[in-house]
Amino acid sequence: MNAPETAAQAPDPYRALPGARPLALWAAACLAVHAGETACRRCPEICPAGALRIADAGPEVTGDCLACGRCAGACPTGALRANGFDGRPKLPDGNSPVRIECWKVPRSRSGPDALRVPCLAGLSVARLVELAALARGVEMIDRGW
């Protein structure tokens, strides 16, 4: 009996940034890697902790990363990836939207079907569109935590 054919899985292009467990960089997609610091500065400019700077090899962590993912959400090419944002939500029944909440909110308060992420600001426009296409829209709950 022949073994079933399996599609070859492409290698993950992202590599962890040194000193930043929650962040990974796809260097081939990073504008700053290819065109220098002046080409793109979105990640260091949006970081609330000032924990990123642009070096010759692209973004690097220089301070205390909050793991909020704002840098990844702001990246125009998707070159940065932050852990905790790729979860698949349980799709709501009927015509309800996908509900998204910060994972700092106690699970008991966010509801059983909520997609819990490190920070709402870390969601890219592309991810929001993807989630909206899965259901009848997206409901982002900001409790100010």
- pLDDT tens for residues 119-142? 999 999 888 998 888 888 899 988
- pLDDT tens for residues 56-107? 888 999 878 898 999 999 999 999 999 988 777 777 777 788 889 998 888 8
Q: Up-side HSE of residue 121: CA atoms within 13 Å toward CB?
A: 14
Q: What is the DSSP letter of 75?
A: -
d(CA 143, CA 48): 18
> Could you tell me where the DSSP H helices lie in the chain?
31-35, 42-46, 70-74, 107-110, 125-134
Q: What is the dihedral sign for C-alpha 104, 107, 109, 113? A: positive
| Across 31-47, average pLDDT | 90
Could you tell me the residue ranges of all domains in the chain? 15-82, 98-141
Residue 44's pLDDT is 94
d(CA 59, CA 51): 10
- pLDDT tens for residues 17-32? 887 678 999 999 999 9
pLDDT over threshold 80, residue 3 = no
Fold of the 15-82 domain: Alpha-Beta Plaits (3.30.70)
Residue 1's pLDDT is 47
Residue 113's pLDDT is 82
